[in-house]
Structure 1
């Protein structure tokens, strides 16, 4: 067969096969995109109230109107106070927080759902939009009210303020890409400020059932300044990267690692006021083993400078351990379901009931919370502390007796402080020489007295204490606190003076 005949046959096969492949892919995409994800708690706050789908051979259009339940989507739902949570009757009712009419009105506003309309412009695979091999490419358009769009145009002009693109894989997962362009705007009012935002990009990866997620975001930062030059503000590059994996199929609990960083924050005024912060980092790390979760959060700042004061290596790290994942998942799902109800007062009562239902199940596994590190360094040295609190063996009956409960609480804290740092802090905070001298003298006297009692230990130039609460008693460096009064000396019988006659 001639080469020309082979070429014609290949072109003919492609001409027939590609539309068929695109049509088949379009059918699969329609089934997936129209699929209601009602069973996934992640999407439970979104409800599709209207949907149309127009399918073609190479492309399709989907229009959807979502209803978003803001109250259900809000993290950190306020819970009733812990005190009284395990009590019943009038005593518990008396301790339940009472909301003012104004607070109830605000909560009612938040409980009302809002509607969002989107249009998805879908290009079918196997080569959607001539960009690569994939099941499809979806460009999402948000349909906004004219008033809202007019306000956005004041900032972004004719630029598209938000671009949303989703690449769908044949395996069922995909990548969501979001970007917003740079803009420069000036605020109005008494003090006008020019803001130069340098844009943002984000990618979110997901598998077919949203059990594995990944996120990466970058933003070059922003510059801000008063138009009269009285003050300047700068924020450096912002980065975020993380991954998460669902712990329980169909559940709401994920574990993984996330790290966010701001390169620098700088604020200054003509009067010489201001501050400079470098390398701000927030990290989270959670793991899951034998149905128990361990979650940690680390916040750090490499350098802080305010006028003549310079501090380094600020750390605030804490963690929680032995959190029972199945119980936490049940609690989270029930909280989310209650959040969708329209009566805020009924919600608060339901939240309290759910907490009472699961609280003791949490305590069975001896959960603990720890301040892993709180520290900061100056020219004179470092201040550092760590602490841990747990409730081993607590029963529901213990919450009715504060004495028994306090006897079961176990806590310990380690504190260390470089001696020169005390004088450095006093010198920085007290400008008057007499006040500085009096404060320094008082601090030395107090430290000396605590050293004499053994409550402060000194090694070289570092002061330290270990504080422990156990079995209802407080000790510092193994010594009871407050100090037990010394027993009166017992004199021999032959040395006891005779009674004074009346």
Structure 2
């Protein structure tokens, strides 16, 4: 009996402690709610300063073990120039907050890690999102559960419901089988991990000939583990996989890409950013013709982190300003000119640190062979005491240290590809093969005629190197002015072949 009383006393004591801690947690959440909203608005303003969106909260009701609130996202603009939310409309997030240290929502998942709170979020059916509710038959398209640790770190699991929207008049349709999205972040949002899995997406529309065009994506997965460098540049590892992407026109398959994978790894060491970006495609078919597979590998190094951050901030701010200028936005030619000017004005920031970009390789292959292109460009910081350029050579040398490019096209591979191109256009296989052979041999002959390419081991090859005003095109050396005269301006002036040995 004595032991029973002791056990009962322990249970009661734990219950009192839990109740008191849960009540205190709820009180602390209410106390800090204004600060949470202010931080969210500051982040939105930093990411999209011209979005004119504002977050607020309403109807906070605190209980002992749980609380509830409505978070309201609205436009603070009085005009209808905001494409996200029109004035008078709002996106409302319904929040049910289970208090720690052991939130009921986490206990149901057998998660016994002490947490400050667990938040369940879903959309409220408002005018701004009513079409989403129509697609899901009255349910919130997102169901999110967020665990908030005592350190301020968060872990969110988002379930995306299946969608099905059809417009009988236009023939448009958007459908999805739903998916998941997981996001975790530390208290400051510096370290962010993201993973997602979307099973199927289907979009149907009509082309200019009023024929139905259906886009289908299957097996889309994304994983990212990122953090902010000391300079404020987001670095880390990212990976995206797409099992299949297809396009059908009027019920006939026009395009199928399978096994698309992209991955990147970027880091910052001693203020310099470097990284690798790799893409691979396992199969490409057009009009039911096999076009082979390809890959691309890009290496970046020696980018100045502070300058990259400044470039990103300047570029985003100036582009947002252009989009907000109705005169520019409604004039494609003017918009393109202004965008080019924005890039030109900010480009010197990217060249600080004398970065290097290497493509090794960009390749494509089929059952007959493989072709590849390799390029390495070493830039120069234009702000490193360079004088005002007086000619094209000085202008190039102010921003470029060296350039080295090599191209190798397998004639057998190219002939096979052009055969499938012709067959996709309706030629019979025998006729398509003859036409492809003529085309590839013709390109090879023209390349040699204009001294753009040479032939070696049944490959069409070309090489280009540049350093300190001197160009080597397929081994033939010339000045930059001579190169531009020959290949860019159509001049037949012979190049002066420079000796490879300085003693000559």
TM-score per shorter chain, which class? 0.7 to 0.9
Deviations 1:379-411 (A, max 9, x none): 221111022334325346446754411244332
1:75 maps to which residue?
none
Structure 1 residue 281, shift from structure 2 partner: 1.5
Is 1:122 the equivalent of 2:97? yes
Structure 1 residue 360, shift from structure 2 partner: 4.6
The separation in 2 between residues aligned to 1:10 and 1:437, in whole angstroms, is: 88
* Structure 2 CA distance for partners of 1:199 and 1:297, relative to 1, 3 Å: same
CA contact (8 A) 1:69 1:112 kept: no
CA contact (8 A) 2:26 2:66 kept: yes
The separation in 1 between residues aligned to 2:390 and 2:326, in whole angstroms, is: 26
Report the 3-state secondary structure (helix = DSSP H, G, I; strand = E; otherwise coil) of the residue aligned with 2:292. Answer: strand
Q: TM-score, normalised by structure 2?
A: 0.74
Aligned CA-pair RMSD: 4.2
2:332 maps to which residue?
none
2:118 maps to which residue?
137
* Structure 2 CA distance for partners of 1:456 and 1:31, relative to 1, 3 Å: farther
Of residues 383, 394, 401 in structure 2, which corresponds to 1:404?
394
CA contact (8 A) 2:116 2:149 kept: yes
Report the 3-state secondary structure (helix = DSSP H, G, I; strand = E; otherwise coil) of the residue aligned with 1:34. Answer: helix
2:197 maps to which residue?
218
1:26-425 pair list within 5 angstroms: 26-35=26-35, 36-37=38-39, 41=43, 44=46, 45=48, 47-49=54-56, 53-67=60-74, 109=82, 116-129=91-104, 130-131=107-108, 132-133=111-112, 134-146=115-127, 148-149=129-130, 151-189=131-169, 191=171, 196-222=175-201, 234-248=216-230, 251=232, 253-268=233-248, 273-307=253-287, 309-333=289-313, 344=325, 360=348, 362-395=350-383, 397-398=387-388, 402-408=392-398, 409=400, 410-425=402-417
Report the 3-state secondary structure (helix = DSSP H, G, I; strand = E; otherwise coil) of the residue aligned with 2:291. Answer: strand
Note the residue ranges of structure 2 that are not aligned, 5 or more in a row: 206-210, 329-334, 478-482, 487-491, 497-504
Is 1:4 the equivalent of 2:12? no
* Structure 2 CA distance for partners of 1:446 and 1:147, relative to 1, 3 Å: closer
Report the 3-state secondary structure (helix = DSSP H, G, I; strand = E; otherwise coil) of the residue aligned with 2:230. Answer: coil
Structure 1 residue 135, shift from structure 2 partner: 1.6
Report the 3-state secondary structure (helix = DSSP H, G, I; strand = E; otherwise coil) of the residue aligned with 2:39. Answer: coil
CA contact (8 A) 2:362 2:372 kept: yes
Is 1:478 the equivalent of 2:460? no
2:500 maps to which residue?
none
Report the 3-state secondary structure (helix = DSSP H, G, I; strand = E; otherwise coil) of the residue aligned with 2:239. Answer: strand
Matched residue count? 443
Higher Cα radius of gyration:
1
1:424-443 pair list within 5 angstroms: 424-430=416-422, 431=427, 438-443=438-443
Deviations 1:99-134 (A, max 9, x none): xxxxxx99x656998754333221101221243342
The separation in 1 between residues aligned to 2:476 and 2:495, in whole angstroms, is: 14
CA contact (8 A) 1:331 1:355 kept: no
